[in-house]
Structures are given as structure tokens and as C-alpha cells.
Amino acid sequence: MKLISWNVNGLRACLGKGFSDYFTRQDADFFCLQETKMQPGQADLQTPNHHAFWNSAERKGYSGTAIFAKRQPLAVTYGMGNDLHDHEGRLITLEYESFFLVTVYTPNSQRELTRLMYRMCWEEDFRLYLKALDERKPVIVCGDMNVAHQEIDLKNPRTNVNNAGFTRQERDAMTRLLDSGFVDTFRYLHPDATGCYSWWSYMFNARANNAGWRIDYFLVSERIRDKIRDARIDSDVLGSDHCPVVLEIDL
């Protein structure tokens, strides 16, 4: 089973930069998007072999997630059932017989960390949400989680301490999530790999210089880590300031 996650930073713009070719070529069982920045029907996107599920933000042109799935799920949930968090289109959950699939676009703490307090509230509520799912059946979580967990996960850790995405609070929240029974699939297979990033600033030729951050993840429940077959970053795929991340797993 192949799953792909990609923060497209505006799907309508990404469609003009090769998205459809990549989508067709990969032929993934699940294709999860973050930061779609659109409402359903605002783009000419043909996915005849996939069922489409959209969670758009109430604010137009902002945030938003989508999942394209070859198999019809047993159930679909938008958001986490918490009014504090469910207005920005950041979460979709598909339920299948043997697992849950969750795609998430974690809130950014913003410059000067103006949203860090809200982010910490989100982190704990999201962790509890995933734990509740995990008590029922294994979970696959993917998306832009807006944190570089370890120093190895960004090019310049020393100069980014206390910047959004690399604060101690955000990194500790990721540690708590993993300690709750989840595995970072990329680090599970590639514990010491360096220079592996999924996001690059548009400034300072960051992508050309590979001055990036790994902030896009696939996490899985601890008890299915032996089912992981591949976890990779398609860093050569353009079209967004993020690139796709891929998981292959036997479920």
C-alpha cells in the first residue's frame, strides 16, 4: 500500500506546476494534501480512480486539507470534534477495517511565536485524539506537522533555536506524541540520514542550497512498525515550497 502526503501550498497554483503528472505517475492508494487553500470545485482536478474528501477552512484561500483514496472508507471525520480547532480545515480521518488514516496540517506558531500558546493547546488535543483512535485500531498519521523534531531535521539548528517550528515546546510536543505509541517512519528506517528535508524557504536560494527542514511526516502506531516497507522524501519534486513524502506499508 502506497501513501503520499504533500503540502501543496495552494493546490490551484500547484496544478500548474506538474501536480497532475506526479499524481498520475505515482498512482498511490492514498494521496493526502495540506494547505490546499481552496474549496471543492475551484480547480479542474481529475481523479477518476480515487474518492475525494475535502476539509476546507471557513476563511477563503487559507489552510485546508484533502485526501484522495482508491478505497471507499467505512467512515469519514472532519476535524477532531473540538470547536476550538475545527474551523480551519486542518484534519481529515478515514476509517478502514484494519486502520485509521489521518492527514493533518498543524498550525504554525507564526513569527514572534504569536500563536505558540494556541499551538500547544492543539498539540495536546491532537495527541489525545490520536490516542483514542489508536485504542480502537492502528493509526497512520501524515502531514505537515510544522516542527523539526531533532537537530538532524534541519540545516541550521543553532540559528533557528526558538524560531517557529524549532522551539523547545514544539519539539517536546512531538516527543510526547511519539512516546504515546507512534513511530516516525522516516527516522525508523533512516535514523542517521542527514540533509533530508521536505520544506525550503523561498528566500536565499534555500532549496538550491538544500537549506531545508524536515517538517512533513508519516507516523504509524508502534504495533505496526514491522509493516513499514519504505519511507522516503521525494525532494526532486517541485511545485510547492514543500515536497511530497511517501510511505509504503503492508496493511
Using DSSP, state whether 116 is helix, strand or coil.
helix
**Options 29, 129, 134, 144, the catalytic residue:** 144
Residue 125 bears catalytic tag: no
Strands ordered across the beta sheet of 139-144 = 75-78, 91-95, 100-105, 139-144, 216-221, 182-184
The H or E element that residue 103 is part of is strand 100-105
**∠ CA 58-60-63, rounded to 5°:** 75
Nearest to 151 by CA among 142, 161, 138, 143: 161
Contacting residues for 64 by C-beta, under 8 A, at least 6 apart: 34, 35, 36, 37, 38, 54, 55, 56, 57, 88, 89, 105
Residue 188 bears catalytic tag: no
- Please answer whether residues 64 and 14 qualify as being in contact, where contact means their C-beta atoms are separated by less than 8 angstroms: no
**Options 22, 29, 105, 129, the catalytic residue:** 105
Residue positions annotated with a catalytic role: 105, 144
